[in-house]
Structure 1
Amino acid sequence: MTPDPAVQADATSERAQGPLIALYAGSFDPITHGHEDLIKRTLTFSDRLIVAVANNVNKQPLFRVDERIAFIRECIGDDPRIEVRAFSGLLVEFAREVGARVNVRGLRAVSDFEYEFQLALMNRHLYPDLETVFMTPSLDTTYISSSMVREVARFGGDVSGLVHPVVGRALIERYRELAMGREGRG
């Protein structure tokens, strides 16, 4: 079967644009095994991945941006194809700045889809060259979310199967600090 010349031309023009840079943005408060899974799998179809840690002024994160970046670096190791950076403002502006052509979003459940779909359409409106790719987590990480991990840790539950050991220890310590602060005021 002879390849379609139009398809070959599109593939050639894509390669001419340089390496495929993917963006995986989120608050990562904290990074979980589910995030790690998507990071590793994104590298199977991209040349570079920028893990973009959002500095969302509308949220009260448990960990500072620099702490979240350090956790991500600890979890992913020193793969030269991965860069971890903080950003604030519009994701599409950050994507333009770093030359990303793919925006990776994880979908754990159908309930995630409506919001993510609207976000993808708005991003396409603002930056048509950024393609959103929805990825489902591996079966053993589907139920994990940062908010659930924080809740389990807050009440002293075992998070060892949900996050990297460094993150697990940091969660225990942070909630201990917060509890001590409440006791000091009480």
Structure 2
Amino acid sequence: MITIAPYSWEHFQALPSLDAARDRFLELGGAKFVKDDCLDLFTRYEMQRTFGLAMLHRHNDILPGQKMNKDPGAGMDEPQPAIWGYTPAGELAPTEFSYAKGHKVQLGGKEREFAAELLRKLDERGLIGVFGLCAYPGDDFEGRCEITQNSANINLKPQDFFSPPLITRGCRCTCDNRTTPHGHGTHVITQSG
């Protein structure tokens, strides 16, 4: 079973930048690990609605004592860990927090056994430091686009990002309908904004 470590500013600061994390993910075959190993592991431990897999990264430096928080909102509860990474000592430590109402991840025996098995698999494939865990965001989660401006990490939902006034999306068919029957060519995604 794995030990849960407290938040550590030093651990957060040791995370790679987003670009470096992406490069390491590609170099070490992160997509293959996700495809070949993760589904089985998550379903065997019944963690597919408890955790998600996170590519560990930091957007910027923070000052000692600060925490990387996300999604603040009205009526916020106390910040809860939302992303965890493995420390060099093999502990699971929070790296980002969430201000949110609703279900909080409990790190009991079953969750700790799962985290220990994930750590073993990451170690076997040389992927420690690439992946960590994140709190499962719910069945209706559509993704998020993170943007960093100076020391602020801004999270946009897809419907915020792909809606006026930022960007308008559409689809244009390039079919050649001069003959019957005719092929439909390709569909081109269009954006404006």
TM range (shorter): under 0.3
TM-score by length of 1: 0.26
Larger RCO (CA under 8 A, 6+ residues apart): 1
TM-score by length of 2: 0.25
Q: Which has the larger radius of gyration?
A: 2
- Which has the larger strand fraction? 2
